[in-house]
């Protein structure tokens, strides 16, 4: 059962995002897609509590984030790590990823999330930006685009207002 919690109760953001990972999910009643992410931030901007995510434009999920005003971030216990690996290595363009996973979608109000999540952050987009390599101040960042770690296009940053945080109890 999900209960609304205060944002200050979210816990260790570094572990949550960087180690445990999250699913970014967007869509409507008809079509939803999700992908695993390990990069992002939670913080404060323009006096709002915000989540920032970084999505490469070739992700199928990118199209869903572009088309919808909202997205959600879902966080899970370790036992779902295999599903997060699957959802982060296959594309929804090629297969029905959600159906093939052990996760069940909770649909509604363009804020789809997962029944099995331990924590849900509901987000409303307020800002979008292309990173632009000319803005890099540390050349090491280039390696994620033109070097050994190059696995895709330049990320799009989305800043979104956190509108609700739910915890499973």
Residues at the site binding ligand FMN, with contacts judged by CB under 6 A? 21, 33, 35-39, 54-56, 59-61, 85, 88-93
User: CB of residue 40 vs ligand FMN: minimum separation in angstroms?
Assistant: 6
Residue 104: CB atoms within 10 Å: 10
Pairing of strands 2-4, 156-168: antiparallel
Nearer to ligand FMN, 13 or 85 (CB): 85
Nearer to ligand FMN, 2 or 63 (CB): 63
Question: For ligand FMN, which is the closer residue by CB, 41 or 91?
Answer: 91
**In the bound complex, what is the minimum distance in angstroms from residue 64's beta carbon to ligand FMN?**
8
Closest CA to 34 of 51, 16, 55, 15: 55
We find the least distance from the C-beta atom of residue 169 to ligand FMN, in angstroms, to be 27
DSSP class of residue 94? T
| CA separation for the pair 147, 134 (Å, rounded) | 16
């Amino acid at each position: 059962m999900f209960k609304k919690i205060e944002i200050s109760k979210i816990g260790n953001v570094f572990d949550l995002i960087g180690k445990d990972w999250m699913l970014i999910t967007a869509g409507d009643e008809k079509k939803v897609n999700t992908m695993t992410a390990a990069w992002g931030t939670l913080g404060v901007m323009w006096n709002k509590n915000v989540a920032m995510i970084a999505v490469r434009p070739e992700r199928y999920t990118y199209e869903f984030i572009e088309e919808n005003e909202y997205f959600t971030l879902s966080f899970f216990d370790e036992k779902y790590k295999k599903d997060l690996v699957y959802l982060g290595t296959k594309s929804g363009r090629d297969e029905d990823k959600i159906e093939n996973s052990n996760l069940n979608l909770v649909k509604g109000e363009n804020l789809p999330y997962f029944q099995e999540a331990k924590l849900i952050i509901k987000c409303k987009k307020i800002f979008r930006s292309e990173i632009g390599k000319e803005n890099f101040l540390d050349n090491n960042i280039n390696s994620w685009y033109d070097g050994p770690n190059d696995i895709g296009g330049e990320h799009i940053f989305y800043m979104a207002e956190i509108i609700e945080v739910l915890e499973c109890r």
